[in-house]
Chain A
Amino acid sequence: MAAVVLLAGCGGPIEDDELERGVQTLESTAAEGRLVALDVVEDRTKVTFTRVHARNLGEDAAHEAEKLSDAEARPGNAQAKAEAVRLAQDIDSALGDLQVSPSDRSVARDVEQRLDRLSQRAARLSERL
């Protein structure tokens, strides 16, 4: 059924509202990754949980990057689409660092700040769409 619903939305260049939904997903992923990183900074989590959850969120970001990259842009939203792809890749990269070093508090602090900025970037992009 999900496939039917997805197929119904296929065909033609990506519309602004679809792009906006993708960017909102990225904003949410970055915000959640930030919460995960924050708990590492404050030493109030388990290494296994951080690694697994960072991996899952990173996969979401990577999936969104692929989806947006594959989508055809309209002349009016090509720049926004390209920015969204970069955003997705940056979020994936930050979460990858957390996954590799889930107990390193200095890495986590850096990841937390990056994801905070990325989340804000996504919010601004979403507002523009």
Chain B
Amino acid sequence: MRKIFEIALGIIAAIGGFVDIGDLVFNTQAGARFGYQLLWAVPVGVLGIMVFAEMSGRVAAIAKKANFELVRERYGPRLALVTLVASLVLTFLTLAAEIGGVGLAFTLLFDGPEQTFMFIGAILLGAACWKLSFGAIERIFGYGGLALLVYVAAALHFRPDWGDIGRGFVPDVQDATVYWYFAVGLVAAAFMPYEIYFYSSGAREEGWEEKDLGVNRANAIIGYGLGGLLSVGLLVTAAQVFNPAGVDPGHLGTVALGAQAAYGETGLLLALLGILFAIGGAAIDTCFSFAYNLAQYMGWQWGKKADDPRRWTMSWMAAMVGGYAVVATGIDPVELTEYAVVLSVVALPLTYLPVLLVAGDREVMGDHVNGVLARTLGWAYFGLICVLTVAAPILLFATNGGGG
């Protein structure tokens, strides 16, 4: 049992990346518009984030350094500052969207004014961050989010054509720019920078050491594997429910409708609870990541167990209040996070390069330096990340944000 709970960090970090409010709608849109054709993009992203998460956890366990401590050390002051500003802006925007998403999920469950539920959501999330231990946060939100496995069951419930699904995992070169917009978005979602900030800082919060490298590997493979499975479940369910009906999803409620189509009220409730925990977990991922990055850059003490975490605590509180203030303006959280997903790729190379450099540095890592496989995959994925960085903003404009 204890072993099962040890992979909570990987699960909550993966849920934050794969099924936050933007991804829930984005995955559902991808399935509704293109059927199974974009399934291949999910494992491409999953394998990449597994590689980098494993590396960052290994660095945290051996070098005892989280991601932004590496950024500060490896980059000059200017580049480190650019990385900090980019990461803070994107993390903050995503946090605002997630707080809005929690409000929307409450509204779908209980009906009532969205703004009131967004306020209640922000208060509850703040209370969870304040009162709960890091381990309790991981377990409650990570395992609560697994209620979204209802989408995997729903995908199977409709008896999909396995031949079509198999063909969906083979990349299909198409001319349509909207297709590539969604493909890039699905791959990029796996690499959301805050996932790696949260994962590496979480590994430090949990005090991982050399003996925990197996736990790190299990977290990276099982946690992110589950995130990818949920993503596939959403996409395949949408391909079967919404594609034939001609529905183009744009609301969080549409995502829940897919589970309801399979299992009625039970499916709906499981979906809404899973959505609530997944988005809540993503909100905490981003809120803490904001504070981790700032504290690690500034050289402050940080984390739940720090002797003097006052400045770190004030940072996440300020982010939570500011995030709520953004959604209180009435901005659509789904739209906000979809832009954040695509724009986040601009910060991707700056986020992942230090992990790759340190994990490959024998002086720092000793016997645990990257092997041939990790080095090859790491640099190959870093190349892909650079391509995404160029392609994503172009596709965003060319497709009018996926609208065609």
Q: Is the CB of B268 within 8 A of A49?
A: yes
Q: A21-B403, A48-B108, A49-B268 are in contact. Are A32 and B260 (CB under 8 A)?
A: no
Check if B367 is an interface residue, CB within 8 A of chain A.
no
Judging by beta carbons under 8 Å apart, are B401 and A2 in contact? yes
Q: With A5-B400, A5-B401, A53-B257 in contact, do A45 and B265 touch (Cβ < 8 Å)?
A: yes
B366 part of interface (Cβ distance < 8 Å): no
- The docked-state distance in angstroms from the alpha carbon of A60 to that of B334 is 14
Give A62 to B242 CA distance when docked, in angstroms.
22
Known: A39-B261, A44-B265. 8 other contacts (CB 8 A): A32-B245, A32-B254, A34-B245, A39-B264, A46-B268, A48-B111, A49-B260, A53-B253
A93 interfacial contact with B, CB 8 Å: no
Q: Could you tell me if B256 and A35 are in contact, using CB atoms closer than 8 angstroms? A: no
Q: In the bound complex, how far is the Cα of B248 from the Cα of A4, in angstroms?
A: 23
Expressed in whole angstroms, the Cα–Cα distance for A9 and B108 within the complex equals 34
Q: Residue among A35, A39, A60 with the most chain B CB within 10 A?
A: A35
B364, CB-defined interface residue at 8 Å: no
Q: How far is the CA of A53 from the CA of B105 in the complex (A)?
A: 11
Q: Please report the C-alpha to C-alpha distance between residue A46 and residue B264 in the assembled complex, in whole angstroms.
A: 9
Shortest Cβ distance from B399 into chain A, in angstroms?
Answer: 10
- Given A46-B265, A52-B111, check contact A36 B248 (CB 8 Å): no
Cβ of A27 within 8 Å of any chain B Cβ, yes or no, is yes
Across the interface, A51 reaches (CB within 8 A) one of B111, B257, B403, namely B111
A4-24 interface (Cβ within 8 A of B): 5, 9, 21, 24
Give, as a whole number of angstroms, the nearest-CB distance from B307 to chain A.
Answer: 43
Q: Which chain B residues (244-269) contact chain A, with CB distance < 8 Å? A: 245-251, 253-254, 256-257, 260-261, 264-265, 268-269
- Chain A contacts of B115 at CB under 8 A? none
Tell yes or no: A77 within 8 A of B by CB: no
Interfacial chain B residues near A49, Cβ < 8 Å:
108-109, 253, 256, 260, 268, 272
Q: Which residues in window 214-245 of B have CB below 8 A to A?
A: 241-242, 245
Q: Are B247 and A31 in contact (CB-based, < 8 A)?
A: yes
B269 CB to closest chain A CB, in angstroms?
7
Give CA–CA (A31, B253) in the complex, Å: 14
For chain B, which range describes its interface: under 10, 10 to 19, 20 to 34, or 35 or more residues? Answer: 20 to 34
Q: Does B158 contact A (CB under 8 A)?
A: no
Which B residues touch A31, using CB under 8 A? Answer: 245-247
A36 to B245 alpha-carbon distance, docked (Å):
12
A44 and B268 CA atoms in complex are apart in Å by: 9
For residue B256, which residues in chain A have a CB less than 8 angstroms away from its CB?
A: 49, 53
Contact status A25-B257, CB under 8 Å: no
Q: Are B253 and A119 in contact (CB under 8 A)?
A: no
Nearest chain B CB to A23's CB is how many angstroms away?
12
Interface size on A, residues (CB 8 A): 29
Binding site secondary structure of chain B: helix
Q: How far is the CB of B271 from chain A (nearest CB, A)?
A: 10
User: Who on chain A is nearest to B396 by CB?
Assistant: A1
| B261 close to A53 (CB less than 8 A) | no
Residue of A nearest to B250 (CB): A60
Tell me whether B246 and A35 are in contact (CB under 8 A): no
Query: CB-CB < 8 A to B247: which residues of A?
Result: 28, 31-32, 35
In B369-404, the 8 Å CB interface with A consists of 396-397, 400-401, 403-404
Q: Are B260 and A44 in contact (CB under 8 A)?
A: yes
Of A2, A9, A28, A44, which one neighbours B264 at CB under 8 angstroms?
Answer: A44
The complex places the Cα of A1 from the Cα of B109 at a distance, in Å, of 32
Cβ-defined contact, B260 with A56, below 8 A: no
Nearest residue (CB) in A for B399 is A5
Is B251 touching A48 in the complex (CB atoms < 8 A)?
no
Interface pair B253/A52, CB less than 8 Å apart: yes
Residues on B with C-beta less than 8 A from A5 are 397, 400-401
Known contacts: A36-B257, A56-B251. The answer to whether A45 contacts B108 by CB under 8 A is no
Complex Cα–Cα for A36 and B287 (A) = 35
Query: Whole-angstrom distance from the CB of B167 to the nearest CB of chain A?
Result: 25
| Cα–Cα, bound, A57→B253 (Å) | 10
Q: What's the least CB distance linking A40 to chain B, in Å?
A: 11
For the complex, what is the distance from the CA of A28 to the CA of B254, rounded to whole Å?
A: 11
| With known contacts A31-B246, A45-B260, A53–B401 Cβ distance under 8 A | no
Decide if B110 is an interface residue (CB 8 Å cutoff). yes
Are A119 and B246 in touch, CB under 8 angstroms?
yes
Q: List 11 A-B contacts (CB under 8 A).
A: A24-B248, A25-B248, A28-B246, A31-B246, A32-B242, A32-B249, A39-B264, A45-B264, A48-B109, A49-B260, A52-B107
